[in-house]
Amino acid sequence: MIQRRPFLIVLVLAITGLAFAPVLMVVLLALRDQGIVEGIGVGVINTRQLKGTISLLATVGLGVTLLGVTTGWVTACCRFPGRRFLRSVQLLPLATPAYLLAATLVDLGSIQGWRVHGFAWGVVVLSLANYPYVFLLTTDSFSRLGQRQLEACRTLGLGPWGSFVRIAMPLTLPAIGAGIALSGMEVVNELGAVELLGIPTLSYGILQRWQEQGNPTSAAQMALVTLVVVAGLIALERWLRRRSRRWALDGRGSTSLVWPLAGWRATTAQLICALPPVLSLGVPLLWMSRRWQGTVEDAGELLTLTLNTLILASLAAALTVAVALFLAVARRWIRQPLLQRLVFVASMGYAIPGTVLALGLLVLGGSLGWTP
């Protein structure tokens, strides 16, 4: 394989610079007038919003663990009617924006007399929207890890529950932690749902300081705190993912062990696996179908917005795929350690909250004389 390809190196440097420039502008703006520690001390950084973000990370982490590990274990290690279908539909919540579920619940609650507002509802919404991250990683681990140990447990008379608690769960902890870290990045990035439910978070605080208070420096300082939280989640996810791969090597080549379920046990397993997708996607679809009559009058505007969304999404997806393919090829062809790190930096954009990137782009555009 050819190691020296100057044009690839130049393009990788350019892509990395473009990807990192908004983050760099946020950091420079945050540190321009006063340090981040002083900013927290004088109230520039809203500690309530910082605590709200940390609390959401902790509680949503518990929620996605409960949903993801339970559905992952049942679909990976138990056999019952409809298992394959229910295993596939666990990914549907990834296609449902958290703010859509939040808006549906708020609308439904206003009619039924419920007050859908506050932290607890935010935990429910974000857990239902993000548990597939834990499900994907734990399902893979449950399917491959420790099959010999599970077979030994079965020989000793342990059923699915005993094998899960004593063997499978400890071996799958790295994968669970990696899934929690990935879902945590989505929690930090969430804006629409937390704003609608009235939850103070860093992402909403950035937008509030920039638009409502007209204080870009304060917004940048909050963005810097957000970047620190995201960096910690990225480091945790990568470390746990490496540990998970190391465990996976021991289970490679072993056949998947499943427990057949029948009767009420099979029905319980079906309900466990069907409930999260129904709540996260089925409820919004059902509610929108019932409320469709009220939107027919605005069908023209709705069609225009839909087309704009599809066009924007298609262009963004095409550009993302093209850049990702190029970086993957460059990473394979060029084995220089520095370039490998640059490719990793360029691919970190998925973890950076949109409010941080938007703030960085606005600051960058202003410094270059571009009108945003």
The percentage of residues in the chain with a pLDDT greater than 90, rounded to a whole number, is 18
Place of tokens 């958290």: 98
Residue 143: pLDDT band by 50, 70, 90 thresholds?
confident
Distance from C-alpha of 8 to C-alpha of 28, rounded to nearest angstrom: 29
| pTM, rounded to two decimals | 0.82
Residues 4-40 as b or e (16 or more Cβ within 10 Å = b) = eeeebbeebeebbeebbebbebbbebbeeeeebeebb
C-alpha 285: how far from chain center: 22
Q: What angle do CA 247, 248, 253 make, to 5 degrees?
A: 135
The pLDDT of residue 68 is above 60: yes
What is the average pLDDT value for the chain, to the nearest integer? Answer: 80
- Structural domain boundaries in the chain: 1-30+302-372, 40-290
Please compute the mean of the pLDDT values over residues 160-164 and round it to a whole number: 69
Residue 177's nearest CA partner among 54, 68, 55, 51 is 68
Instruction: Give the domain 40-290 fold.
Output: MetI-like fold (1.10.3720)
Between 238 and 104, where is the model more confident? 104
Task: Judge contact between 170 and 90, C-beta under 8 A.
Answer: no
Task: Please name the residue ranges forming H helices in 97-118.
Answer: 98-112
What phi, psi does 209 have (nearest 5°)? -65, -35
245-292 per-position pLDDT tens digit:
555 545 554 555 677 888 888 899 999 999 999 999 888 888 877 776
The pLDDT of residue 40 is above 60: no
DSSP state of 96: S
Q: What does 261-316 look like in DSSP terms, one character per residue?
A: --THHHHHHHHHHHHHHIIIIIHHHHHHHHTGGGGGGGHHHHHHHHHHHHHHHHHH
The pLDDT of residue 2 is above 50: no
pLDDT at 253: 45
Task: Judge contact between 251 and 175, C-beta under 8 A.
Answer: no
219-237 per-position pLDDT tens digit:
887 888 888 888 888 888 7
